[in-house]
């Protein structure tokens, strides 16, 4: 379902831009490893990072190291595993206290072995169960994860597109954006956040509190005030953002 929303404004030089990865910067794919980065994406992110004086961060469910690998040689500030990991604007890593999910591994491996269509993704601060290959397994995955957490009150569940994950309680994309916004080079800027999935809603909430701009990419209900229909349209928006920031900088220099 696509709900009509205003086209988002472009960021001005005093903006802080936060970007989700899967479904926003790259199209969703059959498995986590099969996403394809369009070749022009890294150069546009690099330009944006420079034009915003460093105030550009990736806020994702992926591990920070995985994002680094996709966008190398670029190293951006990044909140990974839905905010359970964070590398700030100075390049310093911050991790949430309950970070070791290995206690869940045995039970989850068993479930994946019993159901070959389920894919288990093991991350530093989380384990994800993917059921994209057989969406009828959603309830099974969800119930199994809920049962696992009964004895672990420090952990919570986060749901996404054909995926359910365990996550340290308190970690969220919203909390990560809030933390970035208290530090240089983000502090004092107007936040923009673009995302496509359920876990992005906490980010939209924080951006709204801070009078910023929330951009939902693709279909689905969202509290974001703005919407862009597809990953490709979002890439066009990023290019326009760069062009406008470059033009503004040129004007400033010529004054
Ligand atoms: O916050 P995001 O950057 O959107 O990351 C959310 C999850 O993305 C990945 O899973 C999703 O994308 C896969 C590749 O397109 C797809 O196969 C899967 O169905 C999606 O749920 C990633 O694997 C997870 O770790 C992230 O949490």
233 is catalytic: no
Q: Convert the pLDDT of each residue in 134-165 to its tens digit.
A: 999 999 999 999 999 999 999 999 999 999 99
> Is the overall model pTM greater than 0.90, yes or no?
yes
Nearest to 93 by CA among 77, 69, 73: 77
Question: Which atom of ligand 1 is nearest the CA belonging to 165?
Answer: 27
Interval 64-73: pLDDT, tens: 999 999 999 9
Residue tagged active-site, from 14, 20, 134, 229 = 20
Question: Is it the case that residue 3 has pLDDT exceeding 60?
Answer: no
| Gap from CA of 148 to ligand 1 centroid (Å) | 21
Q: Compute the distance from residue 28 Cα to the ligand 1 centre, in Å.
A: 7
pLDDT higher than 50, residue 1: no
Q: Please state the φ and ψ torsions of residue 241, each to the nearest 5 degrees.
A: -60, -45
Cα–Cα distance between 216 and 230 in angstroms, integer?
A: 9
pLDDT surpasses 80 at 233: yes
Specify the pLDDT at position 4. Answer: 66
Instruction: Please tell me the residue having the least CA distance from ligand 1 atom 25.
Output: 62
């Amino acid at each position: 379902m696509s709900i009509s929303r205003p086209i988002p404004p472009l960021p001005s030089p005093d903006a802080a831009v936060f970007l989700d990865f899967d479904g926003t910067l790259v199209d969703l794919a059959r498995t986590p490893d099969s996403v394809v980065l369009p070749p022009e994406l890294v150069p546009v992110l690099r330009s944006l990072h420079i034009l915003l004086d460093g105030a550009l961060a990736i806020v994702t469910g992926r591990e920070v190291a995985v994002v680094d690998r996709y966008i190398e040689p670029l190293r951006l500030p990044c909140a990974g595993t839905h905010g359970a990991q964070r590398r700030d604007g100075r390049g310093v890593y911050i991790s949430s206290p309950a970070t070791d999910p290995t206690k869940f591994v045995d039970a989850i491996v068993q479930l994946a072995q019993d159901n070959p269509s389920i894919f288990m993704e093991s991350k530093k601060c989380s384990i994800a169960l993917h059921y994209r290959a057989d969406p009828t397994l959603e309830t099974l995955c969800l119930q199994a994860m809920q049962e696992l957490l009964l004895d672990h009150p420090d952990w919570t569940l986060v749901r996404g597109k054909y995926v359910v994950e365990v996550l340290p309680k308190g970690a969220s994309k919203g909390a990560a954006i809030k933390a970035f916004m208290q530090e240089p080079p983000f502090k004092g800027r107007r936040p923009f956040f673009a995302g496509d999935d359920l876990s992005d809603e906490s980010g939209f909430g924080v951006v709204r509190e801070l009078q910023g701009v929330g951009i939902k990419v693709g279909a689905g209900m969202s509290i974001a005030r703005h919407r862009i229909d597809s990953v490709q349209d979002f890439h066009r928006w990023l290019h326009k953002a760069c062009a406008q920031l470059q033009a503004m900088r040129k004007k400033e220099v010529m004054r």
